[in-house]
């Protein structure tokens, strides 16, 4: 079976993954020169930097999810297909997908990274990941269900385990989730559940390395930790998580933390790309590429974004797995593909590091720019402005802006809904 794509005389570019990298390429590439097939397992692009706001009931999933078909209205040579890639067959210029075989002239791997459990099977089984809107929504449902369940219990220790949240990994996601939960603990949760004692609720942020926000400056890292502790988060650096059975987290230092909810934001691992030469696959799942994002040894296969590992100056082991390198690589590859067709020489990728930032809570953020580092209220305004401007679509931007203003004024994330699509007859009654 072959994937059903219209015939075209143009060379076909198959892009696997519609994250920041794949979308950046698909939006910038000329569909007059190429037939573009964009594969993703969802029918929407996900704006990962705001997943934590979905998980903490501040934003609706739709506010940060953009239907791919809408993005490509009017681009008649761009074909979106909801499918997973199963295997690459470089000799045949073909990939196998969940919809069948698909021929390519150029293949671009942009299927990113997923949660890394570092081989800990128990943790994979019981922890909540944060690498998709759907996972963030599942976390929101779980947190709310915990509070509901706590109400039904009378034993204070059992209650506490339902209220406690342990977040592992102090990167931006871990910092943002734990900070926001700490704020909710002080503001909206006691109003929602006056029968529960939120003094007993503990929010832990566990980090194996010595710092929170490791790759950021000392200043940002120190301030972020200070902000988190101000909000009441128990920050434990230099601490490993060794096991979790769904009830108690075992730390490397022997300590035990009772919790029903372990949020796992401790690391990512590139998604597998079966069929590439073994020499191209790194142990962390990333794919070795040259300065044109070409997979080593393969003329017409490229990798961009989180999945690609390019050695460039101080980024000898690959660029950071965040939005900016992905977007920049996608944009450059759009131009380089044209150069290949025109038999021109390719342009090498040079990463423009625009800086990094994270928000901890209301009025609290840290920003590192190459020329200036700052923290606090102004950093928070900058964080909001940058994220708002990065959002696709004027309507989404407007709706998010209204939500943020509303939440800021009312101290009330209003989306505390345990919402699941339901097929068929629910059990009868009330």
* Contact (Cβ atoms closer than 8 angstroms) between residue 307 and residue 273: yes
Taking the complex as a whole, the smallest distance from the CB of residue 357 to a second copy amounts, in Å, to 27
By CB under 8 A, residue 423 contacts a second copy: yes
Buried residues in 214-237 as b, exposed as e (16+ CB within 10 A): eebbeebbbbbbbbbeebbbbbbb
Rounded to a whole number of angstroms, the minimum distance from the CB of residue 30 to a second copy is 18
Asked if 166 contacts 259 with a C-beta cutoff of 8 angstroms, the reply is yes
Which pair of structure tokens corresponds to residue 273?
Answer: 């790309």
Q: In terms of C-beta density within 10 A (0-12 exposed, 13-18 middle, 19 or more buried), how is residue 119 classed?
A: exposed
Q: Is 10 helix (H, G, I), strand (E, B) or coil?
A: coil
The stretch among 27-35, 160-168, 218-226, 401-409 that binds a second copy (CB under 8 A) is 401-409
**Toward a second copy, which CB reaches closer, 229 or 245?**
245
CB neighbours (10 Å) of residue 408?
12
Q: How far is the CB of 282 from a second copy (least distance, A)?
A: 16
Contacts of 62 (CB under 8 A, 6+ apart): none
12-16 β-sheet, strand order: 78-82, 35-40, 12-16, 106-109, 301-303
Residues 108-137 that bind a second copy (CB under 8 A): 111, 114-115, 124-125, 129, 132-135, 137
Q: Annotated catalytic residue: which of 176, 207, 291, 341? A: 176
Query: Is position 355 an interface residue for a second copy (rule: CB under 8 A)?
Result: no
**If binding is defined by CB under 8 A, does position 6 make contact with a second copy?**
yes
C-alpha–C-alpha distance, residues 360 and 183, integer Å: 10
By the rule CB under 8 A, 158 interacts with a second copy: no
Rounded least distance, CB 301 to a second copy, Å: 14
* Residues 268-297 contacting a second copy, CB under 8 A: 271-273
Residue 259 or 375: the one with the smaller Cβ distance to a second copy is 259
- H helical segments located in 196-305: 218-230
The answer to whether 82 contacts a second copy (rule: CB under 8 A) is yes
Q: Annotate 368-385 with DSSP letters as a single string.
A: E-SS-EEESHHHHHHHHH
41 touching a second copy, by CB under 8 A? yes
Please identify, using beta-carbon distances, which residue of 44 and 292 lies nearer to a second copy: 44
* Footprint on residues 8-27 left by a second copy (CB under 8 A): 16-17
Q: Crossing angle of helices 20-28/323-341, nearest 10°?
A: 40
Stretch touching a second copy by CB under 8 A, among 141-149, 175-183, 223-231, 295-303: 141-149
Beta carbon nearer to a second copy, 177 or 366:
177
Least CB distance to a second copy at residue 37 (A)? 12
Whether 91 is a known active-site residue: answer no
Over the window 180 to 209, marking each residue x when it contacts a second copy by CB under 8 A and - when it does not, the resulting string is -----------xxxxx--------------
| Cβ proximity of 298 and 304 under 8 Å | no
Taking CB under 8 A as the rule, does residue 241 contact a second copy?
A: no
Interface with a second copy includes 85 (CB under 8 A)? yes
Q: Give the count of residues interacting with a second copy (CB under 8 A).
A: 82
Strands in 306-392 per DSSP E: 308-310, 356-361, 364-368, 373-375
Least Cβ distance, residue 165 to a second copy (angstroms): 17
Residues annotated catalytic, as ranges:
176
């Amino acid at each position: 079976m072959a994937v059903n794509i219209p015939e075209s005389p143009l060379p076909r570019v198959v892009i696997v993954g519609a994250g920041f990298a794949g979308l950046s390429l698909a939006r910038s590439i000329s569909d007059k020169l190429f037939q573009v097939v964009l594969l993703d397992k969802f029918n929407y692009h996900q704006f990962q930097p705001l997943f934590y706001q979905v998980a903490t009931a501040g934003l609706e999933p739709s506010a940060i999810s953009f239907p791919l078909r809408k993005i490509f209205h009017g681009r008649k040579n761009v074909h979106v297909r909801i499918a997973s890639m199963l295997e690459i067959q470089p000799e045949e210029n073909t990939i196998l997908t969940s919809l069948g075989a698909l021929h390519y002239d150029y293949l671009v791997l942009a299927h990113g990274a997923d949660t890394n459990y570092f081989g800990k099977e128990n943790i994979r089984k019981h922890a909540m990941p944060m690498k998709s809107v759907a996972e963030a929504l599942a976390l929101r449902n779980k947190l709310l269900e915990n509070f509901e369940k706590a109400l039904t219990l009378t034993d204070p220790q059992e209650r506490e385990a339902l209220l406690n949240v342990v977040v592992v990994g102090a990167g931006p996601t871990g910092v943002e989730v734990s900070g926001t939960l700490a704020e909710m603990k002080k503001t909206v949760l006691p109003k929602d559940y006056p029968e529960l004692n939120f003094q007993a609720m503990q929010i832990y942020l566990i980090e194996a390395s010595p710092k929170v926000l490791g790759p950021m400056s000392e200043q940002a890292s120190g301030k972020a930790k200070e902000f988190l502790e101000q909000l009441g988060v128990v920050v434990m650096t230099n601490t490993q998580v060794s096991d979790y059975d769904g009830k108690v987290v075992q730390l490397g230092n022997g300590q035990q933390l009772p919790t029903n909810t372990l949020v796992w934001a401790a690391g990512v691992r590139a998604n597998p790309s079966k069929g590439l030469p073994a020499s191209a696959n790194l142990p962390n799942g990333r794919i070795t590429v040259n300065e044109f994002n070409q997979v080593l040894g393969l003329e017409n296969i490229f990798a961009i974004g989180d999945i690609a590992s390019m050695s460039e100056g101080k980024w000898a082991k690959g660029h950071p797995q965040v939005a900016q390198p992905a977007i920049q690589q996608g944009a450059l590859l759009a131009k380089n593909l044209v150069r290949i067709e025109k038999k021109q020489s390719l342009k090498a990728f040079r990463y423009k590091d625009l800086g990094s930032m994270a928000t901890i809570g209301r009025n609290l953020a840290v920003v590192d720019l190459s020329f200036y580092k700052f923290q606090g209220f102004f950093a928070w305004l900058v964080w909001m402005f940058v994220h708002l401007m990065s959002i696709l679509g004027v309507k989404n931007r407007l709706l998010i802006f209204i939500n943020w203003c509303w939440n800021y004024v009312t101290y009330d994330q209003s989306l505390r809904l345990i919402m699941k699509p339901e097929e068929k007859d629910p059990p009868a009654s009330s």
